[in-house]
Amino acid sequence: MNLCIALPGLTPAQRARLHAALPAHSLAFCAESPDAEKRAAVAAAHVVFGNVPAAWLAAAPDLRWVQLESAGVDAYLALNTPPRAAPVQLTNLAGFFDRAVAEAALAGLLAFYRQLPRLLVAQPSARWIKPEVEPAIRALDGQRVLILGAGGIAQRLARLLTAFDAQVQFFSRTGRAGSLSTPAELDAALATADLLLNTLPHTPATIGFLNHTRLARLKPNAVVVNVGRGSTLDETALVALLDSGHLGGAVLDVTAVEPLPADSPLWRHPKVLLTQHTGGRFPGELDRKLDVFLANLARFERGEPLASVVATGRGY
């Protein structure tokens, strides 16, 4: 089979590992190639590993499977539209980033609660701002936390927050046991939440889910954390409610447009901590991605069901 390996950043050792593991296949390492060469490799591929422009996949007549290197699948949901003679399977890295994203969310939240950004800015100029920051310091102990979503990231976050004696509730439209599931239940919970953690994926149903109305229902001085998708949060509404004093702050790993435009008020807002979509990074990530791909390729060759198949109709 022709395999197009579009995973960027591979070392010579990692490329050698793939060659050694896949001697019967033709490998094209195209992540750093010029676009013309990359498009040609995609067009000839039976399998693509990596996130290439979705439009290129339509020109690959023999394509049978795409293994994404991301959990997000937004751009690839129309992969089999119009229908192909042989549908292309689409798999992602669902669950792969759960621990890292949960850890990043907690790190950003603790930094905001303990006023670390302000303290770090003051440090190079030797400014003693203890009297200014102490009134703004918060604690997770006893906080009422509402997590939107109940997947792997949400479950991991709940376990971490429970160690701080926070009181955690989930909102899940799938009706997960013990979770809030109706709009009325969500609205009531928003009014008492000290902290709102958003882990929702990008789907047609979640675009703008956190709109002005929902954000305004939050308890005064509540903090919003977004580690789901930027499209789920109305950033204009968020800034307005931060400016009005209704919301106490926001920790954003994701934004609606990335890179975030330089003129966005989020960059300079004193109540916003931006972590620039670094939440999923962790040591050894590329090797782990290769592990996932090789294990799934073995299933593919044996004709077995693949792991982490994307339900394109559901959107994730």
**Is there a shared CATH topology between the 2-96+283-302 domain and the 98-274 domain?**
yes
Among 202, 217, 229, 302, the one annotated catalytic: 229
Residue of 196, 103, 226 lying closest to 157 (CA atoms)? 103
pTM for the whole thing?
A: 0.93
pLDDT tens per residue, range 78-87: 999 999 999 9
Residue type, 245: G
State how far Cα 43 lies from the chain centre.
Answer: 29
For the beta sheet containing 195-198, the strands, ordered from the edge strand earlier in sequence to the opposite edge, are: 167-171, 144-148, 195-198, 222-226, 247-252, 272-274
Q: Where are the domains of the chain?
A: 2-96+283-302, 98-274
CA angle 21, 22, 25 (to 5 degrees): 175
pLDDT higher than threshold 90 for residue 123? yes
pLDDT tens per residue, range 181-227: 998 999 999 999 999 999 999 988 899 999 999 999 999 999 999 99
Residue entry with tokens 């010029």: 34
Pick the CATH number of 2-96+283-302 from 3.40.50.1100, 3.40.50.720, 3.60.20.10, 3.40.50.300: 3.40.50.720
d(CA 219, CA 204) in angstroms, rounded, equals 27
Among 277, 281, 288, 302, the one annotated catalytic: 277
Omega prior to 124 cis, within 30 of 0: no
pLDDT higher than threshold 70 for residue 14? yes
d(CA 316, CA 313) in angstroms, rounded, equals 8
What pLDDT, on a 0 to 100 scale, did the predictor assign at position 8?
97
pLDDT tens per residue, range 135-160: 999 999 999 999 999 999 999 999 99
Domain 98-274 part of CATH 3.40.1160.10: no
What's the token pair of residue 52? 């290439």
What's the token pair of residue 73? 């699948």
Q: How many CA atoms lie within 13 A of 244 on its CB side?
A: 13
Whether 246 sits among the annotated catalytic residues: the reply is no
Residue of 44, 41, 18, 21 lying closest to 31 (CA atoms)? 41
Whether 277 sits among the annotated catalytic residues: the reply is yes
Query: What would the mean pLDDT of 291-308 be, rounded to a whole number?
Result: 98
